[in-house]
Amino acid sequence: MRSRTLPARVYHLAEAANWPSICLSGLLSTKVLLDLAGLQGTERERIERCQRLEHTTLPNGVQVRDQKPLPERSLATCLVGLTPPEWYELINSQVFFWLDADRLNRQRRACEPRPQVVLVVDARRLVARYAERVSLSRINSGQACRRPAMRGRCTFVPYRLWIETGWSSETEGLGIRLHARSQRPVELTVAEDARDVMSCLIDVRRLGSGEAFRP
């Protein structure tokens, strides 16, 4: 069996305005942020289970990004076993890390002109701490424009299952062609939160307007 390994470092892009909250509570999914902000009812439904068309500041001052690259009409054409609201809810329950700097910089450009913070994280320590909640994805799950890839719950392959069988569970679940066993993951996610992410931190970089991240 071909060995499957992660890069030594993974990256999280955060709003600079959220840095004080991250220092206090670690990285939290949108779902957990909504819990802490006390949002319920219609307003929570709009943020958690609908496409967010605008960058949003929660009542406690924490910011959550828009989801403009995830139009509901496009999602409806590529989802397997889920509705668009269920997909929004699923990704809003995850903390996301990029596995390469190029993809992080694409996201950074989409966040202009707001200042950002890059957390450079030791992948081995992160997985060791959160192994039961770590999953991997071979697609950008937050983008569904221009010929969107098929997706469903099985898009997020649990880390231990990925080590054993690669992408087999995803391709079987979606009914799509088996991808090369050596295909690299695009995203690493931790379900719900990574509250102890500071113990896995290698570096922190602040990016001003127009500034790209350089590893």
Domain boundaries, the chain: 9-207
For residue 187, pLDDT over 90 is answered with yes
For residue 24, pLDDT over 90 is answered with yes
Count, residues in the chain? 215
For residue 89, pLDDT over 60 is answered with yes
For residue 2, pLDDT over 60 is answered with no
Give Cα separations from 118 to 25, 56, 114, 129 (angstroms). Answer: 16, 20, 13, 20
Distance CA 12, CA 8 (A): 14
Mean pLDDT score of the chain, rounded to an integer?
94
Which residues touch 108 (CB under 8 Å, ≥6 apart)?
13, 116, 207, 212, 213
pLDDT at 167: 92
Please write down the HEC assignment for all residues of 135-186.
EEECCCCCCCCCCCCCECHHHCEEHHHHHHHCCHHHHHHHCCCCCCCCCCCC
**Angle, helices 41-48/30-37, rounded to nearest 10 degrees:** 160
Q: Hey, CA dihedral for 40, 152, 15, 126, is it positive or negative?
A: positive
Report CA 165 to chain centroid distance, whole Å.
Answer: 22
Q: Which amino acid is at 17?
A: A
Three-state DSSP class for 13?
A: strand
Q: How many CA atoms lie within 13 A of 9 on its CB side?
A: 14
pLDDT in tens, 25-59: 999 999 999 999 999 999 999 999 999 999 999 99
- Residue 213's pLDDT band, with cuts at 50, 70 and 90, is very high
- Residue 7's pLDDT band, with cuts at 50, 70 and 90, is very high
Mean pLDDT of all residues in 91-111: 96
For residue 1, pLDDT over 50 is answered with no
Mean pLDDT of all residues in 79-98: 97
Would the pTM count as exceeding 0.85?
A: yes
pLDDT at 179: 59
Q: Hey, CA dihedral for 170, 172, 174, 179, is it positive or negative?
A: positive
Mean pLDDT of all residues in 177-206: 89
The DSSP code for 17 is G
Q: Which residue has the tokens 């113990």?
A: 199
Mean pLDDT of all residues in 89-104: 97
